[in-house]
Amino acid sequence: MSASGNDRTGRRPVLLLLSGPNLGLLGERQPEIYGTATLADHVDRADKAATRSGFELKHLQSEHEADLVAAVHNARGTVEAIVVNAGALSHSSWALHDALAAFDGIVVELHLSNPDAREPWRRQSVVAPVADGTVAGFGGLGYELAVEAAARLVNGRNSGPPGA
Ligand code: DQA
């Protein structure tokens, strides 16, 4: 199925945005690092980008690793792409790593900040090895970029020429 149109059932391809622990505090939490926009602002931005690309956006935020793992399981066979800002779980959750490894769609890792420019423990991502790519350091713009990248990879995979 191409995301440039609905499939035969009229369903728009689905892009799942996952938000990990503490991201619900965006807007109040360390604004000097993460900015003043709220998670709702970022989800709205991602939603508009998804709509522009012909996708339906679904979003889940949770403080709990198990919820995120279960969401990835549920995405199998129903979701074309996952954009994931796993917060601090990006650096520690091998369970999330394994769940994403078992997901056969596109995976884009997302961070508001640039973890490579911060504390040493943030320089390891356990999501990165199972992601098609990472968008980091662009603040709220990253939500648009990550959604657009995921949508274009889905379309490239389904209908574009190899390597596009
Ligand atoms: C973050 C970066 C992580 O290191 C941190 O734990 C977060 C937010 C980001 O979006 O920049 O919670 O994922």
- Enumerate domains of the chain plus CATH numbers: 14-159 (3.40.50.9100)
Report whether residue 112 contacts ligand 1, using a CB cutoff of 6 Å. yes
Mean pLDDT of the chain: 93
What's the whole-number mean pLDDT along residues 108-132? 98
Q: How far apart are CA 19 and CA 24, in angstroms?
A: 8
pLDDT, tens digit (0-9, with 9 covering 90-100), for 50-106: 999 999 999 999 999 999 999 999 999 999 999 999 999 999 999 999 999 999 999
Residue tagged 């074309």 (tokens): 80
**pLDDT class of 8 with cuts at 50, 70, 90:** low
Within the chain, residue ranges assigned H as helices are 31-34, 39-52, 65-75, 94-101, 141-158
Q: So what's the pLDDT on residue 37?
A: 98
Strand order in the sheet with 81-85: 56-61, 14-19, 81-85, 106-111, 133-136
What's the whole-number mean pLDDT along residues 28-40? 97
Contacts of 118 (CB under 8 A, 6+ apart): none
Q: Is 143 a catalytic residue?
A: no
Report whether residue 85 contacts ligand 1, using a CB cutoff of 6 Å. yes
Name the closest-CA residue to atom 6, ligand 1.
88
Q: How far apart are CA 148 and CA 50, in angstroms?
A: 7
**pLDDT class of 6 with cuts at 50, 70, 90:** low
Q: So what's the pLDDT on residue 157?
A: 75
Atom of ligand 1 lying closest to residue 20 CA:
12
Site to substitute for ligand 1 among 39, 42, 63, 112, most atoms within 8 A of C-beta: 112
**DSSP letters of 33-72?**
HH-S--HHHHHHHHHHHHHHTT-EEEEEE-S-HHHHHHHH
The pairing of beta strand 133-136 with beta strand 106-111: parallel
Q: Is 34 a catalytic residue?
A: yes
| Backbone phi, psi, residue 162, to 5° | -55, 135
Report whether residue 111 contacts ligand 1, using a CB cutoff of 6 Å. yes
Q: So what's the pLDDT on residue 11?
A: 86
Q: So what's the pLDDT on residue 3?
A: 45
Q: Which of 77, 75, 114 lies closest to 96, judged by CA?
A: 75
Please state the pTM of the whole predicted model. 0.92
